[in-house]
Amino acid sequence: GAVVSQHPSWVICKSGTSVKIECRSLDFQATTMFWYRQFPKQSLMLMATSNEGSKATYEQGVEKDKFLINHASLTLSTLTVTSAHPEDSSFYICSAASGFSYNEQFFGPGTRLTVL
């Protein structure tokens, strides 16, 4: 299957700082990328959907000014957590899809964010 990478795989930062997470589709062009947040032993919470060259569509309750998403190319999307606080600590997962809506999503390995 297609490969999606995420960087960094883990990050520890101080409260108030910003953290950028990169998501890359390595061997295909992703027309759509998704950003999820996952708490321990819980399902995926969709944060936003982004299409290349367009503004991201955020889910209800997700602060777009706090979680900045950029999808500048068909192979790269970034999530920036601005002014991070301990409650933002979580496992963030991106996924990418292309083509028809019945195509499966390909997921990155996730980024563990810990805010001290």
Partner 1 sequence: AQSVAQPEDQVNVAEGNPLTVKCTYSVSGNPYLFWYVQYPNRGLQFLLKYITGDNLVKGSYGFEAEFNKSQTSFHLKKPSALVSDSALYFCAVKTNAGKSTFGDGTTLTVKP
d(CA 33, CA 116): 28
- Interface with partner 1 (CB under 8 A): 1, 4, 6, 32, 34, 41-44, 46, 49, 91, 93, 95, 97, 101-102, 104-110, 112
CA 15, 20, 23, 29 dihedral sign is positive
Instruction: Rank residues 15 and 111 by Cβ distance to partner 1 and give the closer one.
Output: 111
CB of 10 to partner 1, least distance (A): 9
84 vs 94, beta carbon nearer partner 1: 94
Separation between Cα atoms, residue 64 and residue 47, nearest integer Å: 9
For residue 104, the 8-state DSSP code is P
* Residue with Cβ nearer partner 1 (9 or 18): 9
